[in-house]
Amino acid sequence: MYSQLFTPIKLNNTLTLKNRIAMAPLTRCMAGPGLVPTKEMAAYYARRADVGLIISEATIIRADAQGYPDVPGIWSPAHIEGWQQVTDAVHDNGGTMFCQLWHVGRVSHQVFHGTRPVSASAIGLNERIPRMPGLSYPVPRALASGEIEQLIEDYATAASNARAAGFDGVEIHGANGYLLDQFLHHASNHRDDEFGGSADNMVRFPLAVVDAVIAAVGAERVGLRLSPGAYAHMTEDKRDKAVFELLLKELDKRDLAYLHVGIFDDSMTFESLDGMRSSEFLRANYQGTFIGCGSYTAEQADQGISDGLYDLAAIGRPLIANPDYVSRIQSGEGLVDYDVEMLKTLV
């Protein structure tokens, strides 16, 4: 029934995946004290190791990167040790796992880290904070140039820490309205220095992060997630298209392991992208390995790969509901429907 989903794919000379199903990064907010990964997290990921690639839940690169309760970190020895038990469990079950590196930027509150959130510019979000009743996002402060340089180093350090923790690679989270994405959209970047005001300047910080992470762990172990169509914690601006066109042109020169679209529903189209879907726009402007995402059924995922829309398909909520997703799809067994109550435990 599936002509593509269960075929191997060679990302590069270092990594070959056993099938074309990726586990999308799924924030679960269940890290232990100190934001350290737990044995329960190790068992949760190990049960899903039959997918071609597990992309971890978003993992913060330093303390002020946090914007949700109980999310894991990757900046301390305790975090490295905690994640090591996760990657060991995944590898013992034959899996491959990347760590998604995350800084939320303005999508945060001082309740998490005691400091005012930071962003490209001092432009706030008119939104309430999920899982934190009664709290809304404050207006962030704009990062100074020197702070941006430090962040570039911190992303690279986090990538090295992830490799030390046994991850096979890292995915830089540049999507969904979080910090790197805030530099790429005109709605959130009003800077007039070398990091804003033009497409050349707006891509400077994200590309510097990519280059620093490549220098730390090698391009063959680096993925990147992007959201060219503004929809999460962001508003559309037609000028954004030129920014992403330039970014993708530059990324094509860097031989990444893959590019990954960040969107929850890939049927969405965007006026700012001339009516295209985010995945369609990325595929048209990027020549390397591409992971599609966005509420696909297994049938849609297989057909999309067959049609050349993407090379792998990331699956999200069905993998929360079905730890044995791969075997169920292969055998034709029906899937358990996702329910929000499932977020209360790691199954």
- Catalytic residues, by residue number, are 178
Closest residue by Cα to residue 345 from 50, 71, 42, 41: 41
* Contacts (Cβ under 8 Å, ≥6 apart) of 175: 181, 225, 226, 227, 260, 261, 262, 263
Amino acid at 62: R
Closest residue by Cα to residue 83 from 168, 209, 194: 168
Question: Residue 340 phi/psi, 5° resolution?
Answer: -60, -25
* Contacts (Cβ under 8 Å, ≥6 apart) of 70: 29, 30, 31, 35
CB-side neighbour CA atoms (13 Å) of 298:
22
What tokens does 342 get? 């499932």
The helix/strand/coil state of 225 is strand
What tokens does 246 get? 């330039």
Question: Residue 110 phi/psi, 5° resolution?
Answer: -65, -15
d(CA 224, CA 344): 29
